[in-house]
Amino acid sequence: MAEQILKMTGISKSYFLGGEEQMVLKNIDLSINKGDFAAILGPSGSGKSTLMNMIGCLDTPTEGEYTLSQQKVQELDEKELAAIRNKEIGFVFQQFHLLPRLSARHNVELPLIYAGVREKEREQRATEMLSRVGLEGKMEHRPNQLSGGQQQRVAIARAMVTEPTILLADEPTGALDQKTGQQIMELFHQLNREGKSIIMITHDAEIAKNAKRIFRILDGLLTEEEAGC
């Protein structure tokens, strides 16, 4: 039986705007097992960004229960949430978010600095991760010396360097051309084959087809497509 690493039960999220309650997420159930490659597909305004923030422990639900790696997220304080984000979640963003003055290697080392890893080990782990994503010869390059696809590979290496439970990717090909985007998807497939669990947030149905499981979110409601759809 597959090991369950994430479980959401009855997750709802509402905000008060102009004195009125706006329901953004509505009674969502979601479970992710170790080794899953899941896509959450939805248009702008569907609630997918709010759900991503919930998965990434950047926001907390109004109602419901979220368990990540056997920890009940809604019971954690801010310090504990920061720790679980650093340890359990590797974030990949559409716009890369690399620091322009740092080399690729130093960008990848950043999460390890926050985790208190010593310099020699940081350098070794960052070097290994950049090699793993195919950037052996680009480690001392700054972001402006790299193509968009290479910058996203650096961002993926940075997300992976702490060996997180889940790689959480928000529109990972959104800033890339089609060919480069497919290369990033091939890298995701490789990482998934190696056992990494991936959750990808996207509005692009073609990109979502790369995943083994596809969830659709619309008006705050989440449904999973049947295999083969």
Q: What is the pLDDT of residue 89?
A: 94
C-alpha angle 19-9-81 in degrees, rounded to nearest 5 = 75
Q: What percent of the chain has pLDDT over 90?
A: 75
Q: What is the pLDDT of residue 227?
A: 59
Q: What confidence tens digit (pLDDT) does each residue in 1-23 have?
A: 779 999 999 999 998 888 888 89
Q: What confidence tens digit (pLDDT) does each residue in 132-153 have?
A: 899 999 999 999 999 999 999 9
Mean pLDDT for the chain? 92
- What's the average model confidence in pLDDT over 63-91? 91
**How do the domains of the chain map onto residue ranges?**
4-224
107: nearest Cα among 43, 170, 153 = 153
Q: What confidence tens digit (pLDDT) does each residue in 151-171 have?
A: 999 999 999 999 999 999 999
Q: And the tokens for 189?
A: 């497939």
Q: And the tokens for 126?
A: 């960052």
- End-to-end Cα spacing for the chain: 24
Q: What confidence tens digit (pLDDT) does each residue in 190-229 have?
A: 999 999 999 999 999 999 999 999 999 999 999 998 755 4
Q: What is the pLDDT of residue 228?
A: 52
Q: What is the pLDDT of residue 18?
A: 82
105: nearest Cα among 73, 143, 64 = 143
| Per-residue 3-state assignment (H helix, E strand, C coil) for the chain | CCCEEEEEEEEEEEEEECCEEEEEEEEEEEEEECCCEEEEECCCCCCHHHHHHHHCCCCCCCEEEEEECCEEHHHCCHHHHHHHHHHHEEEECCCCCCCCCCCHHHHHHHHHHHCCCCHHHHHHHHHHHHHHCCCHHHCCCCHHHCCHHHHHHHHHHHHHCCCCCEEEEECCCCCCCHHHHHHHHHHHHHHHHCCCEEEEEECCHHHHCCCCEEEEEECCEEEECCCCC
Antiparallel, parallel or unpaired: β 4-17 and 37-41: unpaired
Residue 84 has pLDDT above 70, yes or no: yes
What does the alpha-carbon distance between residue 75 and residue 89 come to, in Å, rounded to a whole number? Answer: 18
Dihedral sign computed on CA atoms, order 93, 128, 180, 226? negative
Residue 28 has pLDDT above 70, yes or no: yes
Q: What is the pLDDT of residue 140?
A: 96
pTM: 0.92
**Domain 4-224 coded CATH 1.20.120.1150:** no
Q: What is the pLDDT of residue 155?
A: 94
